[in-house]
Amino acid sequence: MNHRECGVRGNRTFKVYRLFSRAMSDRAARQELRKEAHTVDVTVWVGKSGIEAVIEELTDQLKERELVKVKFLRAARGGTSTEELAEDLAEQTGRDLIETRGNTAVYH
């Protein structure tokens, strides 16, 4: 997935991912989703079982909600970055990755 550096908050750099769906391609819609993501609580945690263990849960939650926030725990990350894990999860679920901040990702 393509991304651009969006800024730094504290000591964490966050990236905003370009959406590939036509409905979400305009800048205003992406910005609105990022705003909405601030109020969404984390509902999926990826742990030592990896992303394969949460694919079905994430897919089910995205059927019911517009946005889902996923937290990547230290055990899941190992030597892999949060951005790489988030991109892999987006590819495996066929969903749009809105952004990553720290160890958290937002999906649409």
Which of 80 and 6 is assigned the larger pLDDT? 80
Q: What is the DSSP string of 70-101?
A: EEE-HHHHTTS-HHHHHHHHHHHHT--EEEEE
Least Cα distance to 92 among 55, 49, 66 occurs for 55
The predicted pLDDT at position 5 comes to 46
Q: May I ask the CATH architecture of the domain 3-107?
A: 2-Layer Sandwich (3.30)
| Dihedral, 14, 27, 24, 34 alpha carbons, nearest 10 | 40
Q: Would you say 101 and 60 are in contact if contact means Cβ atoms under 8 Å apart?
A: no
The predicted pLDDT at position 15 comes to 54
Segment 89-108 mean pLDDT:
94
Structure-block tokens of residue 65? 């909600």
